[in-house]
């Protein structure tokens, strides 16, 4: 009995795409390599577009889902903050994407992020809370801060002080790994159960 690799769609912006690093050094590629070394069959589809906002993400979301993923890692919002898009609009766009995933029955890992641009305390609190609010509303897994342990640390960042370098992408992947592994195992177990005679 052969279990097909778990197909994981990494959908996001430059932090997913791996801006400024070689393709094998993007966060999805690092996760894929690590999981495969552990004998866990996965296949990542990287749909990260540098500069993308939740506005653009929502427009291309349905087309990206044509790959029929078993799991989606949804990472958007950093550019909304950098472009001063209202948090209510960011939340509405992510809410629409999460509803699409719910309707399709696709397990989801939502990646939050802390504001990279300080737009005042009221904005900052509202922006940070929207990710946990959405995760609770839709019952999805949450990784609260995609750049946790990386933001503000020069050794993990490129010269722009925003995008992770190779060491930074490896650190993000390391922090994401336990949660992704757990979700992949659950999907594998469900697939195996469905193949039982």
**3 token code pair:** 């279990």
List the catalytic residue out of 13, 26, 160, 186: 160
**Comparing C-alpha atoms, which of 148, 66, 87 is closest to residue 113?**
148
Looking at 43, 52, 163, 186, which residue is catalytic? 163
Which residue's structure tokens are 């932090």?
15
Q: Of these residues, 13, 14, 25, 70, which one is catalytic?
A: 14
Q: Is 132 in the active site?
A: no
Say how far apart CA 23 and CA 14 lie, in whole Å.
12
Query: Which of these, 126, 28, 30, 37, lies nearest to 85 by C-alpha position?
Result: 126
> What is the 3-state secondary structure of 109-136?
EEECCCCCCCCCHHHHHHHHHHHHHHHH
- What SS3 class is residue 157? strand
Tokens, residue 39: 């004998």
Is 70 annotated in the active site? Answer: no
Q: How many CB atoms lie within 10 A of CB 24?
A: 12
CA atoms of 23 and 178, how far apart (whole Å): 22
Name the pairing type of β-strands 141-143 and 71-75: unpaired
Please identify every residue annotated as catalytic: 14, 160, 163
């Amino acid at each position: 009995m052969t279990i097909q690799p778990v197909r994981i769609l990494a959908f996001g912006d430059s932090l997913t795409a791996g801006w400024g690093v070689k393709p094998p050094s993007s966060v999805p590629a690092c996760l894929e390599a690590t999981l495969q070394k552990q004998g866990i069959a996965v296949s990542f589809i990287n749909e990260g577009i540098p500069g993308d906002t939740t506005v653009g993400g929502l427009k291309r979301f349905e087309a990206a889902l044509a790959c029929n993923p078993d799991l989606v890692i949804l990472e958007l919002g950093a550019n909304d903050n950098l472009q001063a898009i209202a948090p209510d609009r960011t939340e509405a766009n992510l809410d629409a994407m999460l509803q699409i995933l719910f309707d399709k029955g696709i397990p989801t890992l939502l990646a939050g992020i802390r504001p990279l641009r300080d737009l005042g305390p009221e904005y900052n609190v509202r922006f940070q809370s929207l990710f946990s609010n959405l995760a609770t509303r839709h019952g999805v897994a949450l990784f609260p801060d995609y750049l946790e342990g990386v933001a503000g640390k020069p050794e993990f960042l490129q010269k722009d002080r925003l995008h992770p370098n190779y060491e930074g992408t490896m650190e993000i992947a390391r922090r994401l790994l336990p949660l992704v592994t757990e979700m992949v195992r659950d999907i594998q177990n469900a697939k195996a159960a469905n193949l039982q005679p």
